[in-house]
Amino acid sequence: MSDFLKTISALNDETRVLILKFLIKNGKSCVCELESSLEMIQSRLSRHLKILKEAGFLSVEKSGTWSFYYIDCKSELNHDMLNSLKKIDIDIPKKIPICRKD
């Protein structure tokens, strides 16, 4: 029950749904790319990314000073929820490439 509530809670926010849809569409993205593309300040974005990561939707890969987030479902429930999100029509901004993974 706890995992279910954490999953639902993570998706109960328009910004977090937008972040997930953005990552579904654009794949692995650096925090700075997410900031620019979604026009969000870093502190607000980081809070949302943390919630999505703790809920088992995202993983992070560090490369030097860069942090790259990507979809990494930790449960069948999260996988099912992401499949449902894919069907929702939301206008997603284009990815603004800023960071390079060296």
Q: What is the pLDDT of residues 17-42, one digit of tens each?
A: 999 999 999 999 999 999 999 999 99
Q: Which domain holds residue 19?
A: 2-85
Whether 61 is covered by a domain: the verdict is yes
Question: What CATH number does the domain containing 19 carry?
Answer: 1.10.10.10
pLDDT at 102 over 70: no
Q: How far apart are CA 30 and CA 65, in angstroms?
A: 10
Percent of the chain with pLDDT over 70: 97
Tell me, yes or no, whether 93 lies in a domain: no
- Whether residue 17 is contained in a domain is answered as yes
Q: Does 92 map to a domain?
A: no
Residue 6 lies in a domain: yes
User: How would residue 101 be classed by pLDDT, with cut points 50, 70 and 90?
Assistant: low
**What value does the mean pLDDT take over residues 58-69?**
93
* CB-based burial label for 85 (10 Å; 0-12, 13-18, 19+): middle
Asked whether residue 15 is assigned to any structural domain, the reply reads yes
- Mean pLDDT, the chain, as a whole number? 91
Number of domains in the chain: 1
With respect to residue 102, please indicate whether it lies within any of the assigned structural domains: no
